[in-house]
Amino acid sequence: MQSLTKLAAIFIIWTAFTIIMTVGNSPLAQATGATAVVMTIALAGAAGGSTIAIWQSKEAHQSPEQSSEKAKRTRTRVGRFVDSLREDEIAELRARLVADDGETVPLERLMAEQESRRRS
């Protein structure tokens, strides 16, 4: 969702919550004691949960260029990891995998070097 759409949806949710809480002929207005408290908590929980779900939702639209590029990549665990990288992070990964003389360095060797640096 776009930010403006998210904001509109949240506004509608909380407006509905406010109307339900303040309108004189709603079931909540006629409830008393513990019933009113439970109904208020349930409504507030639903409105709050909806708000969180809307804010945490990801953008559904990607440019066609990004979609086709990601479709070409494999869907393995490594493929999903690479999909999550930005272009500058991919360039950095490629640079680390290529030695000074242009020879490709095995990933296992890089991981072993990193592990030995952690231990020291």
Q: Rounded distance, CA 30 to CA 48, Å?
A: 23
**60 has a pLDDT exceeding 60:** no
Q: How far apart are CA 58 and CA 115, in angstroms?
A: 35
Is 9:54 a contact under the CB 8 Å cutoff?
yes
Average pLDDT, the chain: 77
Rounded to two decimals, the pTM is 0.45
65-89 burial, b if ≥16 CB within 10 A, otherwise e? eeeeeeeeeeeeeeeeeeeeeeeee
For residue 104, list its beta bridge partners. 98
The string of pLDDT tens digits covering residues 7-26 is 899 999 999 888 888 876 77
- Concatenated DSSP letters of 13-62: HHHHHHHHHH-TTSHHHH--THHHHHHHHHHHHHHHHHHHHHHHPPP---
Tell the residue number behind the tokens 């030695």, with chain if given: 99
pLDDT of residue 48: 92
pLDDT (tens digit per residue) in 98-120: 756 666 767 777 778 778 877 87
Give me the sign of the Cα torsion angle 68, 74, 80, 81.
negative
Read off the pLDDT of residues 62-109 as tens digits, 9 standing for 90 and up. Answer: 555 565 565 555 567 777 777 788 888 888 877 777 756 666 767 777
